[in-house]
Amino acid sequence: MTEILSETREHTLWITFNRPQARNALTFGMYDGLATLCREVPSDGSIRAVVIHGAGGKAFAAGTDMAQFRAFERAQDALDYEARIEAVLEAVERCPLPTVAAINGACTGGGAAIAGVCDIRIATADLRFGFPIARTLGNCLAAANLARLASLMGAGRVREMIFTARLIGAEEALGCGLISEVLEDEAALMARAGELAGTLAQMAPLTLRATKEAMRRVAVAARVEDADLIEMCYMSHDFRHGMEAFLAKKKPEWSGT
């Protein structure tokens, strides 16, 4: 099964995370495939908008496939992983076309990070958005990701969401500006995504591109060094224990080491 699909319909590129059996948990290949599609999107006017969504009706993307973390042995592995994710998110941000995240159901971890860098987010009523890492893995978000989330939702809400490992529902997401619309079900979501992409296709392309790039540059100016924090979390006993406990469907017992 191809894990990430792309299809052009009229003036819209539709990108689909296609691991429904795993709630579209993201493999490194899926991350890289998304980045490539965003970097190589045609700039000749044949494509005017990009829609990203998840197959299966239950999840946009349920984070990174955690089994991949078993290969992490050195601090550099963690730093390389976060650099890889940052490159993917930057590729989505730098996509010269407007991007729409059509979010159905669970949108967590890496999936939530991807949705967060899209230009517009719409979601079904069963949305569950967040980063439950304080309950599951014991790792951390890179500072750039935290800055992006804070600009979307407010710093206080980001702290509370991560500290309590809770997932935000559709009405709260709408209220805080994380998403712009709530749709009844997946059929309504996909219809609205297509309609929205059609509207974007009629707008002045250079206006949209300039706005995207200017906002990206503002965000980049606020980034800070965070390698020590990434190393502290990913090289900890808690991270290794949390990963194995999650994969075994057990509750972790944190030690703070």
Q: What is the pLDDT of residues 115-172, one digit of tens each?
A: 999 999 999 999 999 999 999 999 999 999 999 999 999 999 999 999 999 999 999 9
φ and ψ at 179, to 5 degrees?
-120, 160
Task: Name the band, by pLDDT with cuts 50, 70 and 90, for residue 42.
Answer: very high
Integer Cα distance of 107 and 128 in angstroms:
6
83: confidence class by pLDDT, cuts 50, 70, 90: very high
User: Domain for residue 152, yes or no?
Assistant: yes
- Domains: count for the chain: 1
**Domain interval for residue 79:** 4-185
Which range has the worst mean pLDDT, 27-36, 61-70, 183-192, 199-208?
61-70
As a whole number of angstroms, the distance between CA 13 and CA 7 comes to: 6
Q: Tell me, yes or no, whether 112 lies in a domain.
A: yes
**pLDDT band at residue 199 using 50, 70 and 90 as cut-offs:** very high
- 179 found inside a domain: yes
Q: How many CB atoms lie within 10 A of CB 13?
A: 23
pLDDT at 221: 65
Domain with residue 63: its CATH number is 3.90.226.10
Asked whether residue 192 is domain-assigned, the answer is no
Q: Is 249 exposed, middle or buried (0-12, 13-18, 19+ CB in 10 A)?
A: exposed
3-state helix, strand, coil in the chain (%, to 5): 50, 15, 30
In a domain, 155, yes or no: yes
Task: Tell me whether residue 226 is in a domain.
Answer: no
User: Is the residue at 245 inside a domain?
Assistant: no
